[in-house]
Structure 1
């Protein structure tokens, strides 16, 4: 009898210790016996979700208020389905707690959710690092941790996810360089914009099979990767590289991107002319080259593209645009050197630029053809 009482006493002590270490506001259910949970996978999910609940320090909207008890498939934001290797076993297949405004960290126990295919936690206040245990999520297909407060270097753990197709890590505090292994993943969509990455792009960028890649608003530098993008012509539909530090010229070979819908390279340090070959991007709907140091003439072939809806080339040094450009639904040609167009640069500024035109050789990139001579000053506004 003494042994029985001693065991019961130890159980009470351990329970009190556990309760004393959790945040006072959280509701962690620890009194569930395994027999009440239908199968071992859901039992692991229960452990993982309770550990995660314990790691949350703020849930002002009560999003996880029902995260207790053995029925994890009823938890808000938790989605269950038949296991991919056994249709008779139910397992946690997805987590979606987007826009819940939850603060906290991700515990290592999330690695117990080995059947997880979707993990969406965007627009919360999660911080810290992505746990190493994520490497165990071999079935993870979509990972969206955007718009949180994660920090440190690039989350290398995502490079070990063999099934990953959609990766969104934007609007966090990641910094450092972009690993070359990222572009060897078989991704379809990649978003790492609005972070603090500061490096050149790896030379194997062209290996990526993505259809959409957004890398805007970082500190990326180096020559514009025209050749790498051409290698992606079979899949690439949208690329947004705005507000970085890319230098050099846009090469004519970019015309091979016939399936491109969105091409945004605005707010960089690009120089030279706008290639006539861009007029071969027959699927192009949006083209933005604003806020660079491009010069010369706007090719008529670009404004003749059948699907072009938005063409922005403001804040450059172009000296002419064909009449077909006026038929583009949305166009911005301001702050250039185009005669008779409103809101252009001053004649003095245009003359100074063309007296010392910039070219790719300044940044170590291949030099372009020299820009055309400036028009006569009396034709400028």
Structure 2
């Protein structure tokens, strides 16, 4: 082939390639997407017109007025997602849009048959039942109707949404009984997220749920669950979040956990779970939140729990744990919330807390703690709530508490604390609860020094205290709901102070 012909051929090929690239770029440009289909635009407008806007809500509205018509293209409306090729509406997100009204079987919503994602969470649909026409949305992958005032039995037609990967019907007045949980799990085998918290199930958790190998998030809080919880669910390979709180008739035991678990959240509070925590709980290396409050666990807490260094919330309160609080807890450097109250621990001091500098909540009521409140706890600069109530703590309240401006609650009653009353506590600006009753404090307390207008509960009874109130007219004093000064010597000024306390619900003066 002559060189001139080869040159023209290569030149022509290059031009064609450039033209192809240009056309591809134009096709992918946002300005070139196909328009919304007329019937779907009409369905959206009808749906909008069937609902009202709660004008008292302060949340910015997503669907209102002219925003539903932008150059005649509903694909440009906030919350609406269209397929880039076909133009069909495939996503509708109207969560937290202040919507009010009813959804019935005639709703134009069910004409949007190409929907893959539907989110109507956090609105008020006036106790509507979920219509059986939900079956029309058979292409749905994600369905979120949570916190939206739906009621009644969940229709069996929801079982026909076999492509569902995510289903959230939580925080509604719904029932799942006919069909029940077992029918739902058998039909929706692709689920990765199942949130039914607050739905009245009143049945056993089916064993078949342990076969949902893709499940990553399961919330069944306060569902009236019964019987024994399938142990295999804990060992689902992709499970990250599990909450079965507040099901008092749900029994169960923790399994032996294998390494490699992805569990980040494990919430069993208010169930009938019992037995001991397995040593293998230390294999839950990703665990961030562990709550077994008000269960029936017993025995010694395994030291391996202290190796879960990602934990930021740990609640073991109201069980029958015994032995010592593990020394390995000093490793839990990410903890912000700690509650070990109402167990049967062997006596110990509080010094192990000193390095847990991210703590803002400490509840150690009835934990057999003794000794002084360590001065090194002053390093916990985020501390807002300290409750070592009913222990054997002695010494004085350390002065550092008066420097913690974030401090809102101190429940230190029923201890052996003594010395002069630390007036610096009274000057804390955000204080809400101060319970120092049944200790050995002495001298005078001037409640006129109080600087927190949020203080609602002050309990000083059963101390050797004189309580006065030298009022500074330029300072507004708090309005108490609970005031306990029984056994204290009350001054005349304090009696005058009481005249302005018109929010009192409980008062002890003797």
Q: How does 1:133-152 map to 2 (within 5 A)?
A: 133-152=133-152
Conserved? CA contact 1:122–1:148, under 8 Å? yes
Ranges in structure 1 where 5+ consecutive residues have no aligned partner:
1-37, 347-381
Residue 327 of structure 2 is aligned to residue 323 of structure 1: yes
Structure 1 segment 1-381 matched on structure 2, within 5 A? 42-60=37-55, 63-66=63-66, 67=68, 70-82=72-84, 87=85, 89-106=86-103, 107-126=106-125, 127-177=127-177, 178-184=180-186, 185=188, 186-208=190-212, 209-230=214-235, 232=236, 234-255=237-258, 258-320=261-323, 321-329=325-333, 330=335, 331-340=338-347, 342-344=364-366
Structure 2 unmatched ranges of 5 or more: 1-33, 349-363, 369-510
**Deviation of the 1:173 alpha carbon:** 0.7
**What is the CA-CA distance between 1:306 and the residue it aligns to?**
4.1
- In structure 1, what is the Cα distance between the partners aligned to 2:296 and 2:256? 20
1:128-161 CA deviation, whole Å, 9 max, x = no partner? 1222222222322211111111011234333222
Q: Residue 116 of structure 1 aligns to a residue in which SS?
A: coil
Alignment CA distance shift 1:59-1:322 (3 Å): closer
1:182 Cα deviation (Å)?
Answer: 2.6
Alpha-carbon distance in structure 1 between the residues aligned to 2:256 and 2:265: 17
TM-score normalised per structure 2 = 0.54
Measure the CA separation in 2 of the matches of 1:211 and 1:315: 29
Q: Cα deviations across residues 212-250 of structure 1 (Å, max 9, x unaligned)?
A: 1111133222213213433x2x11111011111244342
Q: Alpha-carbon deviation of 1:68?
A: 6.1
Query: Does the CA-based 8 Å contact 2:96-2:121 persist in structure 1?
Result: yes
Q: Deviations over 1:65-108 (max 9, x none)?
A: 234695333444323233xxxx2x31212111111111122344
Instruction: Please list the CA deviations of residues 8-67 of structure 1 after superposition, one character each: whole Å capped at 9, or x if unmatched.
Output: xxxxxxxxxxxxxxxxxxxxxxxxxxxxxx88x723213422332343144537733234
Once the two structures are TM-superposed, the CA of residue 193 in structure 1 deviates from its matched residue by: 1.0
Gap change, CA 1:160 and 1:256, over 3 Å in 2? farther
> CA contact under 8 A between 2:261 and 2:286: conserved in structure 1?
yes
Q: Distance in 2 between matches of 1:249 and 1:255?
A: 18
Rounded Cα–Cα distance in structure 1 between residues aligned with 2:253 and 2:316: 14
Describe the shift of the 1:135–1:324 C-alpha distance in structure 2 as closer, same or farther (beyond 3 A).
Answer: same
SS, match of residue 271 in structure 1:
strand
Greater helix share, 1 or 2?
1
Q: Judging changes above 3 Å, is the alpha-carbon distance between structure 1 residues 246 and 254 closer, same or farther for their aligned structure 2 residues? A: farther
SS of corresponding position for 2:344: coil
Over alpha carbons, which structure has the higher Rg? 2
Q: Which residue pairs with 1:370 in the alignment?
A: none
Q: What SS is found at the alignment partner of 1:197? A: coil
Is the 1:314–1:336 Cα contact (8 Å) retained in structure 2?
yes
The count of corresponding residues between Structure 1 and Structure 2 is 301
Aligned-partner Cα distance in 2 for 1:49–1:310: 44
Distance 1:71 1:155, change over 3 A: same
Partners of 1:280 and 1:166 lie apart in 2 by: 28
- Could you say if the C-alpha distance between residues 272 and 138 of structure 1 is closer, same or farther in structure 2, counting changes exceeding 3 Å? same
Structure possessing the higher relative contact order (Cα contacts under 8 Å, 6 or more residues apart): 1
Contact (CA 8 Å) 2:267, 2:289: kept in 1 or not?
Answer: yes
Structure 1 segments (4+ residues) deviating >6 Å: none
TM-score (norm 1): 0.71
- Structure 1 residues 175, 277: closer, same or farther in 2, change over 3 A? same
Determine the C-alpha separation between the residues in 2 that align with 1:76 and 1:279.
46
CA contact (8 A) 1:304 1:324 kept: yes
Which region of structure 1 is more displaced relative to structure 2, 94-103 or 250-259?
250-259
CA positional deviation for 1:169 = 1.0
* Alpha-carbon contact 1:211-1:235 (below 8 Å) kept: yes
